[in-house]
C-alpha cells in the first residue's frame, strides 16, 4: 500500500486500542509514501499513539488536520507528533498542516528541520516571525502556503533577511494586504517565483492595490511569473452601501511587465476556483488546481469604466500567451458602466491561446455588427468557455448577438455564462434570460 486516507472519527474503541498497542511495535505499512489524517474531533483518544503506526521513513507526503479547541489541548499533541517528523520521516517532501494557532510553533519547528521538504501548506494559523528566516533558508522548498497576521511582526524583521531562494509558488492568506506587500519586498525579492496567490478578507483599496502591484513589479522576475492570483474573500457578498471604487487600469498596466502570464483574472466571484472552496488540503488537489489555474485574480467591488477597447487591445498585445481572462466585478456587485464595446470584444480574435473568457461589455451597439463581421480569419477558434456576467444588449438584437458570438467564438463547449442576480435585481435578471436565449440560438447555428 502506497497511499492511505484516514478519518479517525470512524474508528471503533477496539481499533483505537489496537493502534495504541501497535504504536510500540513499529509501522504498520513500511512502504507507505502518502498519508492523509483528518482528525476533526477532540473526542478521539490520544492522537499521537493512534497515528504513530502509520508513520515510517518512506513517507513522502503527509497531510494532517488537528482538532480545534479553545483551551489549546491540541497544541500538546501537535508538538508531540510533529517533533518526531525530522527523525521518523526524513524523506518527507510535502507537509500539509491545518489547525488552530496552538499548533503553529510545533509545526514550524518541525518544518525547519525537514531538509528535503519541497511543499509546505499551512492553514488557519499564522507563522511566528522567528521562523521566517529559517524557513527561507530551506534549500529544496518549492511551494509554500502561509498565513500572515499582526503577530508575524513583518515591520520589524531581522537585520539580514534572506529571500526564499528556491521558492517557485506561494499562497499567502493575510488579514491585511499591507502585510503581503511587506512580505513580498522583504522575502520574495529575487526569488525564482512563478506563481503568487494572495487572499485577504476585506476590500482592496486602490492605494493598497497600487502599492501591491508596485511591490510585485519590483520583487518578481518579469520573465518567470506565470501566475498571480489576488482575491478578497468577503466582497463577493458586497452589500448596497458598501464603498465602490473606480478601477485604476494604471495599476493593471504595471503588471504588463510579466510578459509570460498565461491567465489574467480580475475580480471574479468565488465560483472561479473549486466552487469557492480554497481550503485545499490535499496535495493532489492543490497541485492540479495550481496547474489548471495559473491566474491573476483580484476580487473587489469596483466601477469598470476604465476598461475600454484600447485597454483590451493593449492587454492582448502584452500577454500573447494568455489562456484565460476574467474582467468582471464581484458576484453581487451591481452592473457598472463599462466602455468595452462589441468592437473591443472582436479584438479577442488576436488572442490565439485563450480558452476561458469572462468579460463585462456593452452590447448596445450590436446594430453595427455588419460593419465589423468576425469572419475571414477574425474569429477566435481557441475559446471554449464564455461568461458575460451582466453584459447587456437590446432585446431586438437577439438574433444578431447570437450570430456574432457564434461567428466570433465558433468552438464554445457550453452555454454562455451570465450573472446570477438576486430576486430584486429585475433588470439584470432580464439580461440573464436574454443570454440563455442567445445560447439556445448558438446551438441552433452549430
Cβ 347 vs Cβ 313: under 8 Å: yes
- Residue 285, pLDDT above cutoff 60: no
Mean pLDDT, rounded, for 6-19: 64
What are the pLDDT digits (tens) for 347-385?
Answer: 998 998 999 998 888 888 777 766 655 555 578 999 999
Find the CATH number of the domain harbouring 435: 3.80.10
Assess if residue 177 is contained within a domain.
Answer: yes
Q: Give the percent of the chain with pLDDT over 70.
A: 69
Assess if residue 75 is contained within a domain.
Answer: no
Structural domain containing residue 147: 82-445
3-state secondary structure at position 253: helix
Assess if residue 174 is contained within a domain.
Answer: yes
Assess if residue 64 is contained within a domain.
Answer: no
Assess if residue 77 is contained within a domain.
Answer: no
- CA pseudo-torsion sign 355, 361, 366, 370: negative
Residue 390: pLDDT band (50, 70, 90) is confident
What pLDDT score does 101 carry?
Answer: 82
Per-residue DSSP letters for 258-283? Answer: -TT--EEEES--GGGTGGG------H
CA atoms within 13 A on the CB side of 205: 6
Assess if residue 39 is contained within a domain.
Answer: no
- Compute the distance between CA of residue 322 and CA of residue 356 in angstroms, rounded to an integer: 10
Mean pLDDT, rounded, for 274-288: 35
Assess if residue 323 is contained within a domain.
Answer: yes
- Of these ranges, 41-55, 67-81, 207-221, 339-353, the one predicted with the greatest mean pLDDT is 207-221
Mean pLDDT of the chain: 77
Residue for cell digits 533558508? Answer: 137
Residue 169: pLDDT band (50, 70, 90) is very high
Cβ 195 vs Cβ 226: under 8 Å: yes
- Compute the distance between CA of residue 361 and CA of residue 366 in angstroms, rounded to an integer: 11
Q: Give the percent of the chain with pLDDT over 90.
A: 28
What pLDDT score does 42 carry?
Answer: 54
**Within 305-425, where are the H helices?**
309-318, 342-346, 398-408
- Residue 183, pLDDT above cutoff 90: yes
What pLDDT score does 317 carry?
Answer: 94
What pLDDT score does 237 carry?
Answer: 46
Per-residue DSSP letters for 8-65? Answer: GGG--HHHHHHHHHHTTS--S-TT--EEEEE---TTS--HHHHHGGG--TT--EEEEE
- Residue 309, pLDDT above cutoff 60: yes
- Residue 185, pLDDT above cutoff 50: yes
What are the pLDDT digits (tens) for 212-261?
Answer: 999 999 999 999 999 888 877 654 444 555 556 667 788 889 999 999 99
- Into how many domains does the chain fold? 1
Distances (CA, A) of 327 to 26, 45, 122: 55, 50, 30
Residue 343: pLDDT band (50, 70, 90) is confident
Cβ 214 vs Cβ 254: under 8 Å: yes
Assess if residue 369 is contained within a domain.
Answer: yes
Mean pLDDT, rounded, for 13-21: 61
> Whole-angstrom distance between the N-terminal and C-terminal Cα of the chain?
49
| 254 vs 71 pLDDT, higher one | 254
- Residue 76, pLDDT above cutoff 70: yes
What pLDDT score does 382 carry?
Answer: 95
Of 365, 254, 353, 253, which Cα lies nearest the Cα of 312? 253
Amino acid at each position: 500500500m502506497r497511499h492511505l486516507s484516514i478519518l479517525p472519527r470512524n474508528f471503533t474503541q477496539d481499533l483505537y486500542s489496537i493502534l495504541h498497542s501497535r504504536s510500540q511495535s513499529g509501522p504498520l505499512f513500511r512502504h507507505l509514501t502518502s498519508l492523509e489524517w483528518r482528525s476533526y474531533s477532540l473526542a478521539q483518544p490520544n492522537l499521537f499513539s493512534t497515528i504513530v503506526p502509520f508513520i515510517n521513513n518512506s513517507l513522502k507526503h503527509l497531510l494532517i488536520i488537528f482538532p480545534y479547541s479553545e483551551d489549546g489541548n491540541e497544541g500538546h499533541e501537535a508538538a508531540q507528533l510533529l517533533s518526531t517528523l525530522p527523525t521518523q520521516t526524513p524523506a518527507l517532501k510535502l507537509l500539509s498542516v491545518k489547525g488552530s494557532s496552538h499548533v503553529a510553533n510545533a509545526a514550524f519547528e518541525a518544518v525547519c528541520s525537514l531538509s528535503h521538504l519541497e511543499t509546505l501548506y499551512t492553514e488557519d494559523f499564522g507563522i511566528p516571525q522567528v521562523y521566517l528566516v529559517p524557513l527561507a533558508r530551506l534549500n529544496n522548498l518549492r511551494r509554500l502556503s502561509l498565513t500572515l497576521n499582526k503577530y508575524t511582526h513583518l515591520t520589524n524583521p531581522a537585520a539580514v533577511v534572506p529571500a526564499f531562494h528556491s521558492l517557485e509558488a506561494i499562497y499567502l492568506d493575510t488579514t491585511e494586504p499591507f502585510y503581503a506587500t511587506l512580505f513580498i519586498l522583504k522575502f520574495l525579492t529575487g526569488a525564482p517565483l512563478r506563481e503568487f496567490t494572495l487572499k485577504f478578507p476585506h476590500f482592496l483599496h486602490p492605494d493598497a492595490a497600487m502599492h501591491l502591484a508596485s511591490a510585485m513589479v519590483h520583487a518578481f522576475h518579469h520573465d518567470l511569473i506565470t501566475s498571480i492570483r489576488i482575491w478578497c474573500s468577503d466582497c463577493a457578498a458586497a452589500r448596497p452601501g458598501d464603498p465602490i471604487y473606480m478601477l485604476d487600469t494604471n495599476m493593471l498596466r504595471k503588471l504588463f511587465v510579466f510578459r509570460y502570464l498565461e491567465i489574467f483574472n480580475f475580480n471574479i466571484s468565488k465560483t472561479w476556483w473549486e466552487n469557492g472552496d480554497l481550503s485545499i488540503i490535499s496535495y493532489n488537489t492543490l497541485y492540479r488546481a495550481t496547474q489548471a489555474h495559473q491566474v491573476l485574480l483580484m476580487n473587489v467591488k469596483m466601477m469598470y469604466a476604465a476598461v475600454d477597447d484600447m485597454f483590451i487591445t493593449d492587454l492582448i498585445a502584452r500577454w500573447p500567451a494568455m489562456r484565460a481572462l476574467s474582467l468582471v466585478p464581484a458576484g453581487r456587485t451591481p452592473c457598472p458602466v463599462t466602455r468595452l464595446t462589441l468592437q473591443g470584444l472582436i479584438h479577442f480574435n488576436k488572442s490565439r491561446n485563450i480558452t476561458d473568457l469572462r468579460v463585462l461589455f456593452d452590447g448596445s451597439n450590436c446594430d453595427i455588427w455588419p460593419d465589423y463581421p468576425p469572419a475571414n480569419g477574425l474569429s477566435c477558434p481557441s475559446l471554449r468557455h464564455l461568461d458575460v456576467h451582466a453584459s447587456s444588449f437590446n432585446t431586438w438584437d437577439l438574433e444578431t448577438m447570437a450570430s456574432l458570438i457564434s461567428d466570433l467564438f465558433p468552438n464554445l463547449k457550453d452555454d454562455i455564462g451570465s450573472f446570477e442576480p438576486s430576486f430584486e435585481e429585475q433588470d439584470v435578471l432580464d439580461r440573464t434570460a436574454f443570454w440563455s436565449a442567445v445560447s439556445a440560438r448558438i446551438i441552433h447555428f452549430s
